[in-house]
Amino acid sequence: MQPVTKTQLTKTQLTKTQLTKTQLTKTQLTDSAKKNLTKQHYRIIGSHSAVKPCGWTKNMIRGEGGCYKLKFYGIMSNQCLQMTTSISCANRCSFCWRGYKSPVAKDWKWQADDPSFIVEESIKAHHDLLVGFKGSKSASQPTYEKSKEVKHVALSLTGEPIMYPRINEAIKEFNKKGISTFLVTNAQYPEQIRDLATTTQLYISLDAPNKSLLKKVDLPLFDDFWERLNQSLEFLAQKNQRTCIRLTLIKDINMKDPEEYAKMIKKGDPDFIEAKAYMWIGASVTRLEKDNMPMHEEVLTFSKELVTHLADYEIVSEHIPSRVVMFAKKKYKINNTWHTWIDFPKYDELVNSNKEFTTGDYLKKTPINLLGISGKGTLEHYKLRADKMGVSPEEQREMFKDLEKRAKVDESTQEISFHKNH
Protein backbone atom coordinates (compact mmCIF):
# COMPACT_ATOMS: atom_id res chain seq x y z
CA MET A 1 0.00 0.00 0.00
CA GLN A 2 1.30 3.45 -0.90
CA PRO A 3 1.82 5.98 1.90
CA VAL A 4 -1.02 8.44 2.44
CA THR A 5 -0.19 11.84 0.97
CA LYS A 6 -1.15 15.25 2.33
CA THR A 7 -3.72 15.69 -0.46
CA GLN A 8 -5.39 12.33 0.21
CA LEU A 9 -6.17 12.93 3.88
CA THR A 10 -6.57 16.18 5.73
CA LYS A 11 -5.71 16.42 9.40
CA THR A 12 -9.42 16.39 10.30
CA GLN A 13 -9.95 13.21 8.29
CA LEU A 14 -6.99 11.57 9.96
CA THR A 15 -8.71 11.85 13.33
CA LYS A 16 -11.72 9.97 12.01
CA THR A 17 -10.03 7.29 9.92
CA GLN A 18 -8.40 4.09 11.11
CA LEU A 19 -5.00 3.83 9.44
CA THR A 20 -2.48 1.04 9.46
CA LYS A 21 1.04 1.70 10.72
CA THR A 22 2.42 1.36 7.18
CA GLN A 23 0.40 4.37 6.01
CA LEU A 24 1.99 6.93 8.32
CA THR A 25 5.53 8.05 8.99
CA LYS A 26 6.53 6.82 12.45
CA THR A 27 8.19 9.93 13.83
CA GLN A 28 8.43 13.66 13.23
CA LEU A 29 12.13 13.80 14.04
CA THR A 30 15.25 12.32 12.52
CA ASP A 31 17.84 10.87 14.88
CA SER A 32 20.11 13.87 14.30
CA ALA A 33 17.26 16.28 15.12
CA LYS A 34 16.57 14.38 18.34
CA LYS A 35 20.24 14.60 19.33
CA ASN A 36 20.32 18.32 18.58
CA LEU A 37 17.23 19.01 20.71
CA THR A 38 18.56 16.85 23.54
CA LYS A 39 21.76 18.93 23.57
CA GLN A 40 19.50 21.98 24.04
CA HIS A 41 18.02 20.29 27.17
CA TYR A 42 14.80 19.15 25.53
CA ARG A 43 13.43 15.72 26.30
CA ILE A 44 11.68 14.00 23.41
CA ILE A 45 8.47 12.24 24.43
CA GLY A 46 7.40 9.43 22.16
CA SER A 47 7.55 10.28 18.47
CA HIS A 48 6.29 13.89 18.29
CA SER A 49 6.17 15.59 21.72
CA ALA A 50 8.79 17.41 23.78
CA VAL A 51 9.46 18.89 27.22
CA LYS A 52 11.85 21.59 28.37
CA PRO A 53 11.67 23.39 31.73
CA CYS A 54 11.16 27.12 31.37
CA GLY A 55 13.91 29.40 32.66
CA TRP A 56 11.37 31.01 34.99
CA THR A 57 10.59 27.63 36.55
CA LYS A 58 14.25 27.34 37.47
CA ASN A 59 14.42 30.97 38.59
CA MET A 60 11.56 30.48 41.01
CA ILE A 61 13.13 27.36 42.50
CA ARG A 62 16.29 29.44 43.03
CA GLY A 63 14.22 32.14 44.72
CA GLU A 64 14.73 34.62 41.89
CA GLY A 65 11.09 35.34 41.08
CA GLY A 66 8.41 34.00 38.77
CA CYS A 67 7.35 34.65 35.21
CA TYR A 68 4.77 37.11 33.97
CA LYS A 69 2.04 34.43 34.13
CA LEU A 70 2.47 34.48 37.91
CA LYS A 71 2.12 38.25 38.03
CA PHE A 72 -0.77 38.45 35.58
CA TYR A 73 -2.76 35.27 36.27
CA GLY A 74 -1.49 33.62 39.46
CA ILE A 75 0.38 30.64 37.98
CA MET A 76 3.12 29.32 40.25
CA SER A 77 6.16 29.10 37.98
CA ASN A 78 7.83 26.31 39.97
CA GLN A 79 4.78 24.09 39.33
CA CYS A 80 4.52 24.77 35.60
CA LEU A 81 5.32 22.18 32.91
CA GLN A 82 6.38 23.54 29.51
CA MET A 83 5.80 21.12 26.63
CA THR A 84 4.30 20.56 23.20
CA THR A 85 2.31 17.73 21.65
CA SER A 86 3.73 18.46 18.18
CA ILE A 87 7.24 19.59 17.33
CA SER A 88 6.11 20.18 13.76
CA CYS A 89 4.58 23.51 12.75
CA ALA A 90 2.90 25.08 9.72
CA ASN A 91 4.97 28.28 9.95
CA ARG A 92 8.65 29.19 9.85
CA CYS A 93 8.36 32.33 11.96
CA SER A 94 11.35 34.62 11.59
CA PHE A 95 11.40 35.38 15.33
CA CYS A 96 11.17 31.76 16.49
CA TRP A 97 14.12 30.23 18.33
CA ARG A 98 13.62 27.03 16.28
CA GLY A 99 16.11 26.22 13.56
CA TYR A 100 14.85 25.75 10.03
CA LYS A 101 15.79 22.06 10.26
CA SER A 102 12.84 21.57 12.62
CA PRO A 103 9.93 19.73 10.97
CA VAL A 104 7.19 21.67 9.21
CA ALA A 105 4.01 20.38 7.58
CA LYS A 106 0.50 21.45 6.72
CA ASP A 107 -1.19 18.22 7.75
CA TRP A 108 -0.61 15.48 10.29
CA LYS A 109 1.21 12.60 8.59
CA TRP A 110 2.69 10.71 11.54
CA GLN A 111 1.55 8.06 13.93
CA ALA A 112 -0.21 9.72 16.88
CA ASP A 113 1.04 8.65 20.32
CA ASP A 114 -1.45 7.85 23.05
CA PRO A 115 -2.41 11.05 24.96
CA SER A 116 -2.19 9.46 28.42
CA PHE A 117 1.32 8.27 27.56
CA ILE A 118 2.31 11.79 26.47
CA VAL A 119 0.94 13.37 29.65
CA GLU A 120 2.53 10.86 32.03
CA GLU A 121 5.90 10.79 30.32
CA SER A 122 6.02 14.58 29.99
CA ILE A 123 5.52 14.99 33.73
CA LYS A 124 8.22 12.40 34.43
CA ALA A 125 10.68 14.05 32.05
CA HIS A 126 9.97 17.46 33.59
CA HIS A 127 10.80 16.13 37.05
CA ASP A 128 13.96 14.43 35.78
CA LEU A 129 15.17 17.71 34.28
CA LEU A 130 14.72 19.50 37.62
CA VAL A 131 16.17 16.83 39.91
CA GLY A 132 19.51 18.65 40.01
CA PHE A 133 17.92 21.17 42.37
CA LYS A 134 17.44 18.49 45.03
CA GLY A 135 19.80 19.37 47.87
CA SER A 136 21.32 22.25 45.89
CA LYS A 137 22.47 25.24 47.95
CA SER A 138 21.29 27.54 45.15
CA ALA A 139 17.70 26.28 45.43
CA SER A 140 14.89 26.85 47.87
CA GLN A 141 14.17 23.28 48.92
CA PRO A 142 10.52 23.93 49.92
CA THR A 143 9.95 25.52 46.49
CA TYR A 144 11.67 22.60 44.79
CA GLU A 145 9.54 20.10 46.73
CA LYS A 146 6.39 21.89 45.56
CA SER A 147 7.65 21.67 41.96
CA LYS A 148 7.16 17.91 42.17
CA GLU A 149 3.42 18.54 41.95
CA VAL A 150 2.74 19.93 38.48
CA LYS A 151 -0.31 22.22 38.56
CA HIS A 152 -0.03 23.99 35.21
CA VAL A 153 1.00 23.11 31.66
CA ALA A 154 2.07 25.62 29.01
CA LEU A 155 1.42 23.96 25.66
CA SER A 156 3.66 26.40 23.85
CA LEU A 157 7.22 25.14 23.93
CA THR A 158 7.77 24.78 20.19
CA GLY A 159 5.87 23.66 17.10
CA GLU A 160 2.08 23.72 16.87
CA PRO A 161 0.46 21.65 19.67
CA ILE A 162 -3.00 21.91 18.15
CA MET A 163 -1.83 19.86 15.12
CA TYR A 164 -1.80 16.70 17.26
CA PRO A 165 -5.00 14.86 16.23
CA ARG A 166 -5.74 13.73 19.80
CA ILE A 167 -5.10 17.10 21.46
CA ASN A 168 -8.56 17.14 23.04
CA GLU A 169 -7.87 13.83 24.80
CA ALA A 170 -4.54 15.18 26.07
CA ILE A 171 -6.22 18.33 27.43
CA LYS A 172 -8.80 16.19 29.22
CA GLU A 173 -6.02 14.08 30.74
CA PHE A 174 -4.49 17.24 32.18
CA ASN A 175 -7.91 18.37 33.40
CA LYS A 176 -8.43 15.08 35.27
CA LYS A 177 -5.10 15.57 37.02
CA GLY A 178 -6.00 19.08 38.19
CA ILE A 179 -3.45 20.65 35.82
CA SER A 180 -4.51 23.91 34.21
CA THR A 181 -3.88 24.34 30.48
CA PHE A 182 -2.51 27.39 28.67
CA LEU A 183 -2.36 26.58 24.94
CA VAL A 184 -0.77 28.81 22.28
CA THR A 185 -1.60 28.40 18.59
CA ASN A 186 -0.42 30.15 15.42
CA ALA A 187 -4.03 30.24 14.18
CA GLN A 188 -3.51 28.17 11.04
CA TYR A 189 -6.00 25.47 12.05
CA PRO A 190 -9.34 27.24 12.58
CA GLU A 191 -11.44 24.08 12.74
CA GLN A 192 -9.24 22.67 15.47
CA ILE A 193 -9.66 25.93 17.41
CA ARG A 194 -13.42 25.71 16.96
CA ASP A 195 -13.53 22.11 18.17
CA LEU A 196 -10.91 22.39 20.92
CA ALA A 197 -11.67 20.97 24.35
CA THR A 198 -11.96 23.44 27.23
CA THR A 199 -8.64 25.03 28.13
CA THR A 200 -7.93 27.33 31.05
CA GLN A 201 -6.63 30.04 28.70
CA LEU A 202 -6.37 29.81 24.91
CA TYR A 203 -3.88 32.02 23.08
CA ILE A 204 -3.66 33.09 19.46
CA SER A 205 -0.40 34.58 18.22
CA LEU A 206 -1.11 37.68 16.14
CA ASP A 207 2.25 38.47 14.56
CA ALA A 208 1.28 41.20 12.09
CA PRO A 209 -1.66 43.52 11.38
CA ASN A 210 -1.96 42.81 7.65
CA LYS A 211 -1.55 40.02 5.12
CA SER A 212 1.68 41.09 3.43
CA LEU A 213 3.52 41.66 6.72
CA LEU A 214 2.25 38.40 8.21
CA LYS A 215 3.68 36.52 5.25
CA LYS A 216 7.03 38.20 5.80
CA VAL A 217 7.11 37.58 9.56
CA ASP A 218 5.59 34.09 9.83
CA LEU A 219 6.64 32.55 6.50
CA PRO A 220 3.52 30.31 6.49
CA LEU A 221 3.19 27.11 4.50
CA PHE A 222 -0.50 27.58 3.75
CA ASP A 223 -1.38 29.78 0.76
CA ASP A 224 -4.60 30.84 2.52
CA PHE A 225 -2.79 31.73 5.76
CA TRP A 226 -4.56 35.10 6.10
CA GLU A 227 -8.01 33.58 5.74
CA ARG A 228 -7.10 30.89 8.27
CA LEU A 229 -5.98 33.52 10.78
CA ASN A 230 -9.17 35.54 10.38
CA GLN A 231 -11.39 32.48 10.74
CA SER A 232 -9.41 31.43 13.81
CA LEU A 233 -10.04 34.84 15.37
CA GLU A 234 -13.76 34.46 14.68
CA PHE A 235 -13.79 31.08 16.43
CA LEU A 236 -11.75 32.50 19.32
CA ALA A 237 -14.48 35.09 19.88
CA GLN A 238 -17.00 32.28 20.39
CA LYS A 239 -15.15 30.66 23.31
CA ASN A 240 -16.74 30.69 26.77
CA GLN A 241 -13.44 30.30 28.63
CA ARG A 242 -10.51 32.70 28.93
CA THR A 243 -8.80 33.82 25.73
CA CYS A 244 -5.76 35.93 24.97
CA ILE A 245 -4.11 37.44 21.89
CA ARG A 246 -0.34 37.69 22.05
CA LEU A 247 1.61 40.19 19.99
CA THR A 248 5.30 39.37 19.53
CA LEU A 249 6.71 42.81 18.74
CA ILE A 250 9.78 43.02 16.50
CA LYS A 251 11.28 46.50 16.33
CA ASP A 252 11.39 48.05 12.85
CA ILE A 253 9.37 45.13 11.41
CA ASN A 254 5.91 44.55 12.88
CA MET A 255 5.85 47.18 15.62
CA LYS A 256 3.60 49.56 13.68
CA ASP A 257 0.00 50.21 12.58
CA PRO A 258 -1.60 49.87 16.04
CA GLU A 259 -5.00 50.80 14.63
CA GLU A 260 -4.82 47.83 12.23
CA TYR A 261 -3.79 45.53 15.08
CA ALA A 262 -6.78 46.80 17.04
CA LYS A 263 -9.17 45.80 14.24
CA MET A 264 -7.80 42.25 14.26
CA ILE A 265 -7.94 42.09 18.07
CA LYS A 266 -11.57 43.19 18.08
CA LYS A 267 -12.40 40.36 15.70
CA GLY A 268 -10.96 37.83 18.16
CA ASP A 269 -12.57 39.60 21.13
CA PRO A 270 -10.05 38.17 23.66
CA ASP A 271 -10.30 38.61 27.41
CA PHE A 272 -6.63 39.59 27.56
CA ILE A 273 -3.89 40.94 25.31
CA GLU A 274 -0.17 40.47 25.86
CA ALA A 275 2.18 42.80 23.99
CA LYS A 276 5.56 41.14 24.31
CA ALA A 277 9.01 41.96 22.95
CA TYR A 278 10.71 39.62 20.53
CA MET A 279 13.74 38.15 22.27
CA TRP A 280 16.98 37.75 20.30
CA ILE A 281 17.68 34.12 21.17
CA GLY A 282 18.12 30.71 19.57
CA ALA A 283 18.14 30.32 15.81
CA SER A 284 16.40 33.67 15.37
CA VAL A 285 19.76 35.41 15.81
CA THR A 286 20.68 34.19 12.31
CA ARG A 287 17.57 35.80 10.82
CA LEU A 288 17.13 39.02 12.80
CA GLU A 289 19.37 41.64 14.35
CA LYS A 290 19.80 42.36 18.04
CA ASP A 291 18.39 45.83 17.43
CA ASN A 292 15.10 44.17 16.43
CA MET A 293 14.61 43.29 20.12
CA PRO A 294 12.67 46.22 21.62
CA MET A 295 13.28 47.50 25.10
CA HIS A 296 10.44 47.29 27.60
CA GLU A 297 10.07 51.07 27.33
CA GLU A 298 9.40 50.70 23.61
CA VAL A 299 6.85 47.92 24.15
CA LEU A 300 5.08 50.16 26.66
CA THR A 301 5.04 53.11 24.27
CA PHE A 302 3.48 50.94 21.55
CA SER A 303 0.98 49.51 24.05
CA LYS A 304 -0.15 52.98 25.08
CA GLU A 305 -0.87 53.82 21.46
CA LEU A 306 -2.64 50.52 20.87
CA VAL A 307 -4.97 50.86 23.85
CA THR A 308 -6.30 54.17 22.48
CA HIS A 309 -7.91 52.12 19.70
CA LEU A 310 -9.40 49.54 22.10
CA ALA A 311 -12.24 51.12 24.06
CA ASP A 312 -13.12 47.90 25.91
CA TYR A 313 -9.62 47.35 27.34
CA GLU A 314 -7.19 48.89 29.80
CA ILE A 315 -3.51 48.30 30.43
CA VAL A 316 -3.37 46.46 33.74
CA SER A 317 0.18 45.32 34.45
CA GLU A 318 3.68 44.72 33.11
CA HIS A 319 6.59 42.34 33.64
CA ILE A 320 9.78 44.23 32.90
CA PRO A 321 12.22 41.27 32.74
CA SER A 322 10.01 39.65 30.08
CA ARG A 323 9.31 42.98 28.36
CA VAL A 324 5.58 42.34 28.29
CA VAL A 325 2.51 44.50 28.93
CA MET A 326 -0.88 42.99 29.77
CA PHE A 327 -4.24 44.45 28.77
CA ALA A 328 -7.58 43.18 30.11
CA LYS A 329 -11.18 43.77 29.25
CA LYS A 330 -12.77 46.31 31.54
CA LYS A 331 -15.32 43.72 32.66
CA TYR A 332 -12.55 42.20 34.77
CA LYS A 333 -12.48 45.35 36.87
CA ILE A 334 -15.22 44.48 39.34
CA ASN A 335 -16.14 47.10 41.95
CA ASN A 336 -13.02 49.02 40.89
CA THR A 337 -10.82 45.97 41.59
CA TRP A 338 -9.07 43.92 38.92
CA HIS A 339 -9.76 40.18 38.79
CA THR A 340 -7.27 38.78 36.27
CA TRP A 341 -6.03 35.94 38.49
CA ILE A 342 -7.51 32.46 38.19
CA ASP A 343 -9.19 30.51 40.98
CA PHE A 344 -7.54 27.21 40.00
CA PRO A 345 -9.36 24.90 42.46
CA LYS A 346 -12.66 26.33 41.23
CA TYR A 347 -11.60 25.87 37.61
CA ASP A 348 -10.62 22.24 38.28
CA GLU A 349 -14.02 21.63 39.82
CA LEU A 350 -15.87 23.25 36.90
CA VAL A 351 -13.92 21.67 34.05
CA ASN A 352 -14.42 18.19 35.48
CA SER A 353 -18.11 18.69 36.27
CA ASN A 354 -19.25 18.31 32.64
CA LYS A 355 -21.38 21.41 33.13
CA GLU A 356 -21.22 24.60 31.10
CA PHE A 357 -19.36 27.52 32.68
CA THR A 358 -17.80 30.83 31.69
CA THR A 359 -14.81 32.97 32.59
CA GLY A 360 -16.76 34.76 35.31
CA ASP A 361 -17.09 31.53 37.27
CA TYR A 362 -13.40 31.19 38.20
CA LEU A 363 -12.10 34.70 38.73
CA LYS A 364 -9.78 35.74 41.53
CA LYS A 365 -8.73 39.19 42.70
CA THR A 366 -5.34 40.34 41.38
CA PRO A 367 -3.03 41.40 44.25
CA ILE A 368 -2.91 45.19 44.25
CA ASN A 369 0.88 45.32 44.42
CA LEU A 370 1.06 43.56 41.02
CA LEU A 371 -0.99 46.18 39.19
CA GLY A 372 -0.01 49.25 37.24
CA ILE A 373 2.96 50.60 35.30
CA SER A 374 6.13 51.40 37.21
CA GLY A 375 7.76 53.90 34.87
CA LYS A 376 10.87 51.74 34.89
CA GLY A 377 12.17 49.58 32.10
CA THR A 378 14.87 47.41 30.57
CA LEU A 379 17.69 49.76 31.51
CA GLU A 380 16.81 49.71 35.21
CA HIS A 381 16.41 45.93 35.10
CA TYR A 382 19.87 45.48 33.58
CA LYS A 383 21.46 47.88 36.04
CA LEU A 384 19.92 46.02 38.97
CA ARG A 385 21.36 42.75 37.68
CA ALA A 386 24.76 44.40 37.16
CA ASP A 387 24.72 45.71 40.74
CA LYS A 388 24.08 42.20 42.04
CA MET A 389 26.99 40.93 39.97
CA GLY A 390 29.30 43.59 41.40
CA VAL A 391 29.82 45.51 38.14
CA SER A 392 31.29 48.95 38.88
CA PRO A 393 29.42 52.17 37.96
CA GLU A 394 32.14 53.01 35.40
CA GLU A 395 31.75 49.62 33.70
CA GLN A 396 27.97 49.97 33.74
CA ARG A 397 28.14 53.34 31.98
CA GLU A 398 30.12 51.76 29.16
CA MET A 399 27.91 48.65 29.04
CA PHE A 400 24.64 50.53 28.89
CA LYS A 401 25.45 53.66 26.90
CA ASP A 402 23.55 52.41 23.82
CA LEU A 403 20.54 51.38 25.89
CA GLU A 404 20.44 54.78 27.55
CA LYS A 405 20.05 56.40 24.15
CA ARG A 406 17.03 54.19 23.44
CA ALA A 407 15.35 54.45 26.86
CA LYS A 408 12.39 56.79 26.49
CA VAL A 409 10.32 56.18 29.61
CA ASP A 410 11.29 57.93 32.83
CA GLU A 411 9.54 59.39 35.86
CA SER A 412 8.47 62.47 33.88
CA THR A 413 6.80 60.40 31.15
CA GLN A 414 3.02 60.34 31.30
CA GLU A 415 2.15 57.05 32.98
CA ILE A 416 -0.99 54.96 33.14
CA SER A 417 -1.58 54.59 36.87
CA PHE A 418 -4.04 52.23 38.53
CA HIS A 419 -2.90 52.30 42.15
CA LYS A 420 -4.82 55.50 42.90
CA ASN A 421 -8.07 53.70 42.01
CA HIS A 422 -7.71 51.04 44.71
Segment (H or E) for 43: strand 43-45
Q: What pLDDT score does 408 carry? A: 43
How many Cβ atoms sit within 10 Å of the Cβ of residue 178?
17
Are 85 and 167 spatial neighbours (Cβ–Cβ below 8 Å)? yes
How many Cβ atoms sit within 10 Å of the Cβ of residue 374?
15
Segments making up each domain of the chain, as ranges: 31-377
Sheet with 43-45: strands ordered across: 43-45, 49-51, 80-84, 152-155, 180-185, 201-205, 242-249, 272-277, 324-329, 313-319
Are 297 and 378 spatial neighbours (Cβ–Cβ below 8 Å)? yes
State the sign of the Cα–Cα–Cα–Cα dihedral 74, 118, 85, 195: negative
CATH code: domain 31-377 is 3.20.20.70
State the sign of the Cα–Cα–Cα–Cα dihedral 195, 271, 152, 275: positive
Q: What pLDDT score does 417 carry? A: 34
Are 298 and 44 spatial neighbours (Cβ–Cβ below 8 Å)? no
Q: What pLDDT score does 100 carry? A: 53
Cα–Cα distance measured from residue 186 to residue 89, given in angstroms and rounded to the nearest whole number: 9
Listed residue (208, 205, 293) closest to 251, CA to CA: 293
Percentages (nearest 5) of helix, strand, coil residues in the chain: 40, 15, 45
Give the DSSP letter string of 174-204: HHHTT-EEEEEE-S--HHHHHTPPP-SEEEE
Sequence-distant (≥ 6) Cβ neighbours of residue 134 within 8 angstroms: 141, 144
pLDDT by residue for the chain (422 residues), tens only, comes to: 333 333 333 444 344 334 444 456 677 888 888 888 888 889 999 999 999 999 999 999 999 989 999 999 999 999 999 999 999 999 999 998 876 567 899 999 999 999 999 999 999 999 999 999 999 999 999 999 999 999 999 999 899 999 999 999 999 999 999 999 999 999 999 999 999 999 999 999 999 999 999 999 999 999 999 999 999 999 999 999 999 999 999 999 999 999 999 999 999 999 999 999 999 988 889 999 999 999 999 999 999 999 999 999 999 999 999 999 999 999 999 999 999 999 999 999 999 998 999 999 999 999 999 999 987 766 665 556 556 566 566 665 665 556 555 544 333 333 333 333 33
Residue 144 is given by DSSP the state H
Listed residue (198, 238, 160) closest to 356, CA to CA: 198
Residues in the chain, total: 422
Q: What is the pTM of this model?
A: 0.85
Q: What pLDDT score does 315 carry? A: 98
Are 295 and 377 spatial neighbours (Cβ–Cβ below 8 Å)? yes
